[in-house]
Structure 1
């Protein structure tokens, strides 16, 4: 493996909802706490108010759903409505990993792929060598859980469900 090869994984789920509804959900970081088993809340930071390249937010994380919590700084790196939403986790100077969602319209709705990609630094490569298989499985389970929970909301067909309206919060 070359040092520049990205390390990561992905999970795809078919959702019976149009791509715009899926996009609205995956790009609204303030709703991630409803779906993720590890990130239980997120908020836009530094004056950012929504998805656009360069926007910043912080995710409040509890790794593997246990242990201490911490805030992870994030910056949106790709933002193409109805296609891709990606963000880097880390400081402005050093990203540790990247998370994102790719959307593809299908006859039955939208195929959504959640993915992660670690930055190929030497410390990260050593971490991946030692714990990568375990962490990769944990991440894939978490991504599947996140997408399945999103699918439930998006396929509920209740007014307001996808946009955080009263039907979802009842």
Structure 2
């Protein structure tokens, strides 16, 4: 259980898994203190994956497993945002999702719009299973942020988010993911978390590298 910080408990604790490897835990903030993680996950510390307790629980949802990576792109925030927010570009950016399309007649990004992605598990150069995922846009501010939930029926599985910040003559792009704590995902992350965390990080780094090349090529 995560406990609120107090005297002698104001720093993150480290406890050991059965394997002897450390598991970092971020403590719950005191009431009135700055949030540890907001909905866009932009306020969370880099690294990980970490177990981060959001200050505002949504319908009983608890801890998020999440991670993020950043990259500098020598292009304007508007240019980079356009490439990401038009999900039809996903196949040019993602190592796993080789195509995506808007649903319900949508033609562009807006909060609430749905799209689906065609995924080859393990990467488009592998022979992993192929399937569609349904997604719903949750964050959409032109030139600033774009985020979406991956959903299964009415249940949210995970959240992906991109933040775009002016930096010098270009843009600092931060991509993050967070798993919603469903019982299945708790078990999955317990068994495969370290491997999947490293895999997701590599994929995000690859995505931002492709985004950088595409945006800077004009």
Q: TM-score, normalised by structure 1?
A: 0.88
Superposed displacement of residue 108, structure 1: 3.1
Separation of aligned partners in 1, 2:133 and 2:140: 19
Superposed displacement of residue 20, structure 1: 0.5
Separation of aligned partners in 2, 1:122 and 1:17: 41
Which of 51, 69, 82 pairs up with 2:143? 82
Question: 2:133: which partner in 1?
Answer: 72
Question: 1:57: which partner in 2?
Answer: 115
Separation of aligned partners in 2, 1:105 and 1:132: 33
Question: 1:150: which partner in 2?
Answer: 211
Which of 7, 28, 40 pairs up with 2:86? 28
Q: Which ranges of structure 2 fall in alignment gaps of 5 or more residues? A: 3-60
Q: CA RMSD in A?
A: 1.3
Question: 2:195: which partner in 1?
Answer: 134
Superposed displacement of residue 154, structure 1: 1.1
Separation of aligned partners in 1, 2:66 and 2:188: 12
Superposed displacement of residue 125, structure 1: 1.5
Superposed displacement of residue 153, structure 1: 1.2
Structure number with higher relative contact order (C-alpha < 8 Å, ≥ 6 residues apart): 1
Separation of aligned partners in 2, 1:147 and 1:36: 9
Separation of aligned partners in 1, 2:115 and 2:153: 12
- Deviations along 1:14-35, one digit per CA (max 9) or x if unpaired, are 1111110011011010011011
Separation of aligned partners in 2, 1:153 and 1:146: 11
1:15 aligns with 2:76: no
Aligned length: 157
Larger Rg: 2
